[in-house]
């Protein structure tokens, strides 16, 4: 007997679900070179335009000169260095929590946190549209795992009634493929009423949301009692890489003791923490980035609505255009590509069946003229795609 991988791959192709990796041959930014072609891109998560910022690069280079290039060991052995520690302190202050813990990436932060907090005999309740890393974490934890209807506090309340043991309610802050916000005040009320803990992964909210970039929690003015477990990633608006979880002294100490993806891995390069310290400073102080981004979002939504595109309920930099059929989503993405624009088609299983979409993302690094170019191209391509849409 052997693995029949070729049949699986062929089926994936036949379903229009085959995935390929575009080769980026330039730094991240609005203007990129992909597979040899210069393109104007609207698909990265570099919402504030910091991934290729000269000061962040300089901080990384200076960090490498001072601290070398490798973490060298796990945090608990001898890999926890001064830049990691300083970044944790800065992230704690930024989030207004007693402590923060640095992880190598968001996937590991989510796996580590959920599995450290709940296990057999406990309950984990998740929004059905949560990021894959949160859903995987819930399944891996061994706790009773249940998904409530998207952003529906009543559906959560019904599941909380049946929960047993320690109960963790888990949600994206900004939903990564839809761009809408979790109804955190309502979710927090339900969780608190039942003595459950709310964990929010605000990977896409830190930076663009809140007057100081403090994300969804700042946006809604929620306290640490409302959201005892607050996570974020550093590979999106921060422009670097890694992730963090912020919360009480006890929470962070528990993660250091019990979060296996924290314990059993090499620390991130200290120079990367130096770069993130700089990007955190820019994220907090350069308010014009958030303001400019807001204007681009309004411009895009106005223009897209005039074209008749189906947008989602989002005022964040994630502005998906709902298409439905995977084949059509790919065709529209390809048509844009021939006009020099890159917007990725997102298909199942990343999104539910029948809800393929073009995930447009905007960045403070874009100009109004670039957004207008996108709108012009969309108007043209959508007209040409229309006949088999009708
Ligand atoms: C909501 C959310 N959480 C976690 C992650 C994973 O973070 P990382 O890329 O740092 O692994 C992502 C995407 O990458 C995400 O969108």
231-242 per-position pLDDT tens digit: 999 999 999 999
Question: Where along the chain do the CATH 3.90.1150.10 domains lie?
Answer: 19-48+287-389
Q: How many whole angstroms from 355 Cα to the centroid of ligand 1?
A: 21
Confidence of residue 389 (pLDDT cuts 50, 70, 90): very low
Confidence of residue 3 (pLDDT cuts 50, 70, 90): confident
The predicted pLDDT at position 2 comes to: 78
* CATH fold of the domain at 54-285: 3.40.640
The share of the chain scoring above pLDDT 90, in percent, equals 95
Catalytic residue among 204, 278, 292, 366: 204
| pLDDT tops 90 at residue 317 | yes
| Annotated catalytic residue 236 | yes
Question: Where along the chain do the CATH 3.40.640.10 domains lie?
Answer: 54-285
Confidence of residue 18 (pLDDT cuts 50, 70, 90): confident
- We find that the CATH architecture of domain 19-48+287-389 is Alpha-Beta Complex (3.90)
Q: What crossing angle do the helices spanning 326-338 and 368-385 adopt, rounded to 10°?
A: 130
Q: Is the CB of 232 under 6 A from ligand 1?
A: no
User: Which residues touch 123 (CB under 8 Å, ≥6 apart)?
Assistant: 143, 144, 145, 146, 163, 164, 165, 166, 167, 168, 196
CB atoms within 10 A of CB 260: 13
Confidence of residue 15 (pLDDT cuts 50, 70, 90): confident
Q: Is the CB of 320 under 6 A from ligand 1?
A: no
Taking only the tens place, the pLDDT of each residue in 169-201 is 999 999 999 999 999 999 999 999 999 999 999
The predicted pLDDT at position 227 comes to: 98
Confidence of residue 390 (pLDDT cuts 50, 70, 90): very low
Burial state string for 121-150 with b = 16 or more CB within 10 A and e = fewer than 16? ebbbbbbebbbebbbbbbeebebbbbbbeb
Mean pLDDT of all residues in 87-101: 98
Q: Is the CB of 215 under 6 A from ligand 1?
A: no
Q: How many whole angstroms from 367 Cα to the centroid of ligand 1?
A: 26
CB atoms within 10 A of CB 298: 11
Q: Is the CB of 130 under 6 A from ligand 1?
A: no
The predicted pLDDT at position 244 comes to: 98
| pLDDT tops 70 at residue 362 | yes
Place of tokens 């005039």: 306
| Annotated catalytic residue 176 | yes
| pLDDT tops 70 at residue 271 | yes
Mean pLDDT of all residues in 12-17: 85
Strand order in the sheet with 344-346: 318-324, 356-361, 344-346
Q: Is the CB of 105 under 6 A from ligand 1?
A: yes
Mean pLDDT of all residues in 329-343: 96
Mean pLDDT of all residues in 313-337: 95
The predicted pLDDT at position 17 comes to: 78
d(CA 363, CA 30): 8
The predicted pLDDT at position 220 comes to: 98
The atom number, within ligand 1, closest to the CA of 175 reads 1
The predicted pLDDT at position 263 comes to: 98
| pLDDT tops 90 at residue 316 | yes
Mean pLDDT of all residues in 46-58: 98
* Mean pLDDT taken over the chain: 96
């Amino acid at each position: 007997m052997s693995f029949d991988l070729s049949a699986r791959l062929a089926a994936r192709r036949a379903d229009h679900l085959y995935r390929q990796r575009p080769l980026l041959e330039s730094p991240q930014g609005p203007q990129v070179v992909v597979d040899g072609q210069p393109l104007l891109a609207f698909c990265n998560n570099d919402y504030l335009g910091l991934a290729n910022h000269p000061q962040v690069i300089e901080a990384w280079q200076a960090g490498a000169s001072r601290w070398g290039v490798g973490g060298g060991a796990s945090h608990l052995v001898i890999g926890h260095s001064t830049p990691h520690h300083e970044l944790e302190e800065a992230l704690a202050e930024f989030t207004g929590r007693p402590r923060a813990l640095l992880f190598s990436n968001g996937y590991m932060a989510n796996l580590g946190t959920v599995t450290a907090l709940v296990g057999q005999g406990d309950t984990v309740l998740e929004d059905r549209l949560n990021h894959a890393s949160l859903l995987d974490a819930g399944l891996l934890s061994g706790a009773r795992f249940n998904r409530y209807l998207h952003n529906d506090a009543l559906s959560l309340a019904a599941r909380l009634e049946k929960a047993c043991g320690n109960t963790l309610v888990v949600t994206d802050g900004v939903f990564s493929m839809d761009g809408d916000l979790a109804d955190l005040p309502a979710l927090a009320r339900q969780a608190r009423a039942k003595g459950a803990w709310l964990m929010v992964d605000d990977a896409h909210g830190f930076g663009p949301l809140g007057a100081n970039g403090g994300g969804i929690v700042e946006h809604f003015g929620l306290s640490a009692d409302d959201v005892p477990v607050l996570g974020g990633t550093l590979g999106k608006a921060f422009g670097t890489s890694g992730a963090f979880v912020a919360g009480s002294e006890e929470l962070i100490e528990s993660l250091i003791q019990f979060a296996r993806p924290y314990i059993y891995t090499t620390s991130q390069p200290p120079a990367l923490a130096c770069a993130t310290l700089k990007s955190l400073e820019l994220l907090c102080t350069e308010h014009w980035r958030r303001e400019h981004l807001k204007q681009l979002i309004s411009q895009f939504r106005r223009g897209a609505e005039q074209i008749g595109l189906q947008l989602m309920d989002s005022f964040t930099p994630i502005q998906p255009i709902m298409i439905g059929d995977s084949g059509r989503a790919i065709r529209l993405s390809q048509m844009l590509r021939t006009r020099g624009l890159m917007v990725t088609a997102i298909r199942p299983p990343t999104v539910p069946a029948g809800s393929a979409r073009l995930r447009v993302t905007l960045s403070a690094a874009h100009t109004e003229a670039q957004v207008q170019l996108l709108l012009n191209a969309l108007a043209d391509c959508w007209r040409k795609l229309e006949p088999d849409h009708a």
